[in-house]
Chain A
């Protein structure tokens, strides 16, 4: 029995109902532990003070913002190639979660930036890329909402996601050329490759793990809702 079996909505509902409670609890615990550990039980960094601890929220959400889009890309490809409805609905379900992650990433980045570099926002490559990703998400959802027939909407948003992914990647690199021109030199890089203390490393890992599981939990919940909505729609059309 392959994973494809769960492309059937009924089977998916059955499986997800079974694993959802465990997932929800695990992800909450991991996140809680990770955040508490990171915020309260790590020493303040000698260079950056306590505000750097926002990293425990910033890094996981930033990672998930990108991974959400990648998941949507995979789901879109599966829909176009194998026509599994659960895939299409999962992609649709993941989008608002991706938007939220992106917004939190940008906001926490701003909170980090103000005390560090004196400004909430700067047009540096990384932040700008996240802003661009945000608009891609908006476009994706807008298209879903604009098309009446749900299967057509699934087709169109899937191809948009695929094309968008290519251009999002292009933007990521074009931004480097662009920002060289504007900021001669001084770049506010909220670099994650910056030396991260060992003391930070493990709570960070826990937070990331927790965030990933949280993402999966939320996507499952929202996909279940989408499936129910779709069933409702089908029943309504059938009886008309």
Chain B
């Protein structure tokens, strides 16, 4: 399984792989927020947690349809499906590679971007932690969506429609945990962690069902 993770990372880092693209998109999304809502630092500071999380969500979305689509198009997915690795293992490997090349970089990039939005000083640690714990859920949920839509041409929009609702719990808890008025961030972080663990443990099997249906 490690071979698959390493290969996907390598593919993402090659030109056309989408690694830099994702970070650039994150930057642009955050950047246009002040253009839209005005540069009042007080306002930005209040909405920063939500905006950072939404930006992270959307940036994750971007690279999702690549997960299986490229392998589907050149026959590698079929070849992998007939290999000793079970489909759930393939899904786990791909979701992990996605997180390493998308979720993790986004988490790190959020710190300087938070500064752009005048994020409250005390919230930086929570920003880092909530994203670090929450982005794995985003990757695994996204992989599930990608498995569902792998056979659909230009399925990016459908993919977004399917998984944005699934992102809602993580988003709500994540943004809330970083907000200034919250008394119990640790509790919320624990919940985010629970959701992520559940996604990591169970969604690969759902992915396997979806992939098998599409490969038939």
Label chain B's interface by main secondary structure. Answer: helix
Contacts of B168 in A (CB 8 A): 132, 167, 171, 174
Whether A167 pairs with B166 at a CB distance below 8 angstroms is yes
Does residue B21 face the partner (Cβ distance < 8 Å to A)? no
Complex formed: what's the CA distance from A80 to B209 in Å?
9
Interface members, chain A 137-194 (any B CB < 8 Å): 138-139, 142-143, 146-147, 151-152, 155-156, 159-160, 162-164, 166-168, 170-171, 173-175, 177-178, 181, 184
Whether A171 pairs with B169 at a CB distance below 8 angstroms is yes
Whether B169 pairs with A167 at a CB distance below 8 angstroms is yes
Instruction: Please tell me which one of the listed residues A151, A152, A156, A175 contacts residue B172 in the complex, with CB atoms under 8 A apart.
Output: A175
Contacts of B6 in A (CB 8 A): none
Q: How large, as a class, is the contact surface on chain B?
A: 20 to 34
Q: How large, as a class, is the contact surface on chain A?
A: 20 to 34
Complex formed: what's the CA distance from A132 to B175 in Å?
17
Instruction: Please tell me which one of the listed residues B144, B151, B161, B169 contacts residue A152 in the complex, with CB atoms under 8 A apart.
Output: B151
Contacts of A143 in B (CB 8 A): 148-149, 158, 162
Whether A177 pairs with B151 at a CB distance below 8 angstroms is no
Ranked nearest first, the 7 interchain pairs of A and B with the lowest CB-CB distance are: A155-B213, A178-B172, A174-B169, A170-B169, A174-B172, A139-B162, A135-B165
| 11 additional contacts (CB under 8 A) given A171-B172, A177-B191 | A132-B168, A135-B165, A139-B165, A143-B149, A155-B213, A159-B148, A162-B206, A171-B168, A174-B169, A174-B173, A178-B175
Chain A residues in contact with chain B, CB under 8 A? 80, 132, 135-136, 138-139, 142-143, 146-147, 151-152, 155-156, 159-160, 162-164, 166-168, 170-171, 173-175, 177-178, 181, 184
